[in-house]
Structure 1
Amino acid sequence: MSLSYASGTSAVPLLGETIGANLDRTVAAFPDRDALVECETGRRWSYAQLAADVDAVALGLLARGVAKGDRVGIWAPNRAEWFLVQYATAKIGAILVTINPAYRVHELEFVLNQAGVRTLVAAPSFKTSDYAAMIEQVRGRCPALDDVVLLGEESWDALVDDGRAGDPAALAAAGAALGADDPINIQYTSGTTGFPKGATLSHHNILNNGFFVGETCGYDAEDRICVPVPFYHCFGMVMGNLAATSHGACVVVPAPGFDAAATLAAAEAEACTSLYGVPTMFIAMLNDPSFGDRDLSALRTGIMAGSPCPVEVMKQVIERMGMAEVTICYGMTETSPVSTQTRAGDSLDRRVSTVGTVHPHLEVKVVDPATGAAVPRGEPGELCTRGYSVMLGYWDEPAKTAEVIDAARWMHTGDLAVMDADGYVSITGRIKDMVIRGGENVYPREVEEFLHTHPDVVDAQVIGVPDAVYGEELMAWVRLRDGAEPLTADAVRAFCRDRLAHYKIPRYVHLVDAFPMTVTGKVRKVQMRAEAVELLGLGDGPGGSGTGAAPASG
């Protein structure tokens, strides 16, 4: 009997250096090659120019008193300055706190305080979000925050000017004091207990994960990677930026936020060889009116991740986009993120029915959730992963860290999986109630706790229901206080708007007098989902036939 355990062997050793040292090596090897292209503004950087600007930002931060271990927040959509701040903080050992551009005041305040952010670099605004106004709203309630730098405004220009006038010896001294195991990044994941948790990652964690994602995609200095996925997430900053800079490749930023037409235009104009996205992004690109006019012949590979890929979408990505070597990745923020990945030579079936095999230098196993023992191959259980990629822990939350990382340093993912005889892993479900909406992870408890703040809500339970576009949508089952006026879905959304990120706002609302319960008093969400699918006419799985035209019921 073969157990569900696999380890990733590799002739390529792990990198034992900091992100700054790795970037310096790449700059020395490829000074004149393209490093970064921002399509919206037409700005471009060679590796030599990138190094000069990164060092200027790093010295500017040092001049403002930012030191090793200080937390620096970045709250902005995808733009070149985001990239510069990522590498500048790494060079001085400041811990970059990446903040979701969709966050509202409620979430921003929590993250700034939980991480103890001292310096916040932010875009003044993006789309309908007035970041500058929201920052002012919370600033008095965030005692650690003593410096705000707004991109494109005087404060940013002053920081860069200070850095250009700074002493390079100070930056070299700061870099010499760093180690590869130092924490360098805090990424917030939606919390199962009401608020997000800050996964704390080291140079060693994310540099190596980016490097081996790039190795698995076959990257070299000739590659040009189109990155429409957000930088604030590991998909953008690790699988995109660090995979590129560790190989001398170029990052192409199509637009500040995802735009199908802009992404296709960027891939054509910059002759991109690789393209990233969650399945909904690829669906949008394939259906964009401009698709047929684009020359995507340079495309070779790419990554699809975030949620399962429908087989027809994968076929079209390979056939119509020319991405014959496209890969599927599986991971989580807490593991830097990638643990398994399909390979270029894998069959179409394996690329749509599995998430590949274990990554180099990592271990994965599937265990019985009750006993922790590895199950035989072919049997379901909880997927666990161990190795260089496992986070240092949740920032300032040792008890929550201990809930997911056991004494042997295995990260318990909460995902149900099956490993086949050849070591390919399929994700079959989730132990936790996480909802994946368009590639965004949403934990219902966070939304439930927020709904409880509504004066008329006695109790709320949130579930995921099938959706043809996003994979899943949120549905709130709500109990109202006696005598309260019935709440419509529009009223609930209005209550959430400006306080929760858009992807956490329930699309459907169902008013109930009671929830289905187990004998022991636990809410039966499995039964709720089954009833919801029937109630809304959504079919029986992701991509069900229902359109969800009725946004509220009860």
Structure 2
Amino acid sequence: MVAEESYAAGETRTALLTDTIGENLAATVRRFPDRDALVDRTAGRHWTYRELAADVDALALGLLELGIGKGDRVGVWSPNRSEWVLTQYATARIGAILVTVNPAYRTHELEYVLNQAGVRMLVAAPTHKTSDYARMIAETRPRCPGLEHVALFGSPDWEALLRSGRDADPAPLERVARTLRADEPVNIQYTSGTTGSPKGATLSHRNILNNGYFVGELCGYTEADRICIPVPFYHCFGMVMGNLAATSHGACMVIPAPSFEPKATLEAVEAERCTSLYGVPTMFIAELADEDLDSYDLSTLRTGILAGSSCPIEVMKQVIDRMGMGEVTICYGMTETSPVSAQTRADDPLELRVATVGRVHPHLELKVVDPDGGRTVPRGTPGELCTRGYSVMLGYWEQPEKTAEAIDSDGWMHTGDLAVMDDNGYVGITGRIKDLVIRGGENISPREIEEFLYTHPDILDVQVIGVPDERMGEEVMAWIRLREGAAPLTADSLREFCTGRLAHYKIPRYVHLTDEFPMTVTGKVRKVEMRTAAIGLLGLREGDAE
């Protein structure tokens, strides 16, 4: 009997949304005008849906008064704040394209994004922690000839923008809204690639509104839900899986702090009676490690999302047992697919919620292909994961060649992730094609070693990389964060722990103890940076592997 191919199509019982983001928000406002829509804990403010719509429209009209219109690019450079949310929906209302700028960027990266996207207006926080956005904008602006307007949140320019909108005739806004289509671009997100300059994934209303909606559907959201969103808005996790999942269901968005802080997040869940909590595994690890965790009332938590990287089973168990998130789900995706392509379901057993990223999302297709030949492989056979459907981006902004490299002629987005699909359609991500450690001809999955090392009682968090080796091509290195109070760990003591329990070629040759890993702002570990740093730490050369 011929083995079934690694292909799955999502269910289509619930129809795709056909409205724009502005139309969808307006429908929610009509249904739930007096329910909480947004809470900004730092600002100490709450908005009902009626109040949110009024402020969104004021900002949208202010932008129109300034001459910003359909198709214009508006950049937003800021950590999580209520003004970010207003900007997201106001730009969608007028058909402007929101360019989300990574809050961790510095002047060189800012200049690249502003010029590559042709940003006409930039709104930004004045400062955050060590980032002086106002100074960096002033330094960069002379080199960005297309940048006509800048408004810093809370500044006279920002207040004037809102005031002009509140005083304006609303008729132009409604006229513009009637010209918008759901398949038009509404967002450009720059992907943090490991090589070369970032690429601007261009996403439509249809892309991100539907993705947020179906993420919310699989989380079981209703207007009674309150979603704590400590993940960054600049990325799809925050603005799509968070904000659009909320507003498409009438749920409430809760901003616990401008950037992730474990205590602020736990306090927000308790104070705002949140039913859902988002995070990457490192965020949940930090919350679980909080010495006061058990003193917080987290009894309202029901669900949430873990995404961004693989979740160790021990972390998932504690999220369920100690935080009460019995219906927590795992999501898998990438910016170029709006982002989610697969998700576990609330009733999936625990082992499937850690060993896999779930099943294909509604209205999408997944397949696993041979990375070399491109043919679909049998179930249970590893290969590259590809996805197709409404969620696939319009393309990389003004980079048709890069777009063609990522999306094939049949519309399949090639993710670059190694995956296995089982007989029931559950997908396991085994690593990135470029993250494989190849030692002496053996293909080694860092994920497999990481999962094993999490069983060590002194290890809080771990990341495994390959480093160059003249004889073996590559050797395995573990970067380790120890639990508080743990004794120092050496390569020899770790080798002793692994011997007899892990194949010899998978045992890390090198161990580096660290307090933190190099991260993107979305919580993904930057293994390329780790490899570069490791070469310096160990006195190796990149050419040693050749």
TM class by smaller structure: 0.7 to 0.9
Q: CA RMSD in A?
A: 2.4
Q: Identity percentage over the alignment?
A: 66
* Correspondence for 2:433: 431
Evaluate the alpha carbon distance shift between residue 287 and residue 193 of structure 1 in structure 2; reply closer, same or farther with a 3 A threshold: closer
The equivalent of 2:408 in structure 1 is: 406
Q: Give the letter for the 1:83 counterpart.
A: V
Cα gap change, 1:192 to 1:553, in 2 (>3 Å): closer
How many residue pairs get aligned? The number is 478
Q: Distance in 2 between matches of 1:275 and 1:231?
A: 14
Secondary structure of the 1:379 match is coil
Aligned to 1:110: 112
> 1:287 offset after TM fit, Å?
1.1
Letter paired with 1:407 = S
1:159 aligns with 2:149: no
Any unmatched runs of 5+ in structure 2? 438-452, 481-489, 496-505, 516-533, 540-546
The 1:212/1:531 distance shift into structure 2, 3 A limit, reads: closer
Residue 513 of structure 2: aligned partner: 547
Q: What is the match of residue 224 of structure 1?
A: 226
Q: Which residue does the alignment assign to 1:288?
A: 290
Note the C-alpha offset of 1:369: 1.2
Equivalent residues of 1:78, 1:253 under 8 A apart:
yes
Matches within 5 A, 1:354-393: 354-393=356-395
Helix, strand or coil at the partner of 1:40: coil
Offset of residue 12 of structure 1: 0.7
How far did residue 298 of structure 1 move? 0.4
Residue 412 of structure 2 aligns with an amino acid whose one-letter code is: W
Specify the alignment match of 2:321 in structure 1: 319
1:280 touches 1:469 (CA, 8 Å); kept in 2?
Answer: no
The change in CA–CA distance for 1:387 and 1:51 in structure 2 (over 3 A counts) is same
What SS does structure 1 have at the residue aligned with 2:143? Answer: coil
Secondary structure of 1:530 counterpart? strand
Instruction: Please show how residues 52-91 of structure 1 align to structure 2 within 5 Å.
Output: 52-91=54-93
What CA distance in whole angstroms lies between the structure 2 residues aligned with 1:470 and 1:234? 25
Q: Distance in 2 between matches of 1:545 and 1:469?
A: 14
- The amino acid that maps onto 2:226 is R
Q: Does 1:530 align with 2:496?
A: no
Q: CA deviation at 1:370?
A: 1.4
CA 1:172–1:384 in structure 2 vs 1: closer, same or farther (change >3 Å)? Answer: same
Shift, 1:306, TM fit: 0.6
Structure-1-length-normalised TM-score: 0.83
Q: Give the whole-Å Cα distance in 1 for the aligned partners of 2:436 and 2:150.
A: 33
Matched, 1:187 2:189: yes
- The match for 1:243 is 245
> Secondary structure of the residue that 2:90 maps to in structure 1?
helix
Normalising by structure 2, report the TM-score. 0.84
The CA distance in 2 between the partners of 1:396 and 1:287, in whole Å, is: 44
Indicate conservation of the 8 Å contact 2:465/2:477, yes or no. no
Note the alpha carbon deviations across 1:280-308, whole angstroms, 9 max, x for none. Answer: 10011111122111000000000000111
Distance 1:286 1:168 in 2: 48
- 1:158 and 1:471 mapped to 2: Cα distance? 49
CA drift at 1:531: 6.5
Aligned pairs for 1:269-288 (under 5 A) are 269-288=271-290
Could you list the per-position Cα deviations for residues 137-163 of structure 1 after superposition, in whole angstroms to 9, with x for gaps in the alignment?
Answer: 111111110100000111100100011
Q: CA deviation at 1:433?
A: 4.3
* Alignment correspondent of 1:137: 139
1:209–1:471: structure 2 CA closer, same or farther, 3 Å change rule? farther
Distance 1:246 1:291 in 2: 32
Q: Secondary structure at the match of 1:296?
A: coil
Give CA-to-partner distance per residue, 1:209-258, whole Å, 9 cap, x none.
Answer: 00000000000000000000000000000000000000000001000000
How far 1:190 moved relative to its partner?
Answer: 1.7
Matched, 1:35 2:20: no
CA distance in 2, matches of 1:529, 1:334: 32
In the superposition, relative to structure 1, how do residues 471 and 194 fare at CA in structure 2: closer, same or farther (>3 Å)? farther
Deviation digits for residues 325-364 of structure 1 (CA, Å, limit 9, x no counterpart): 0000000000000000000000110001000000000000
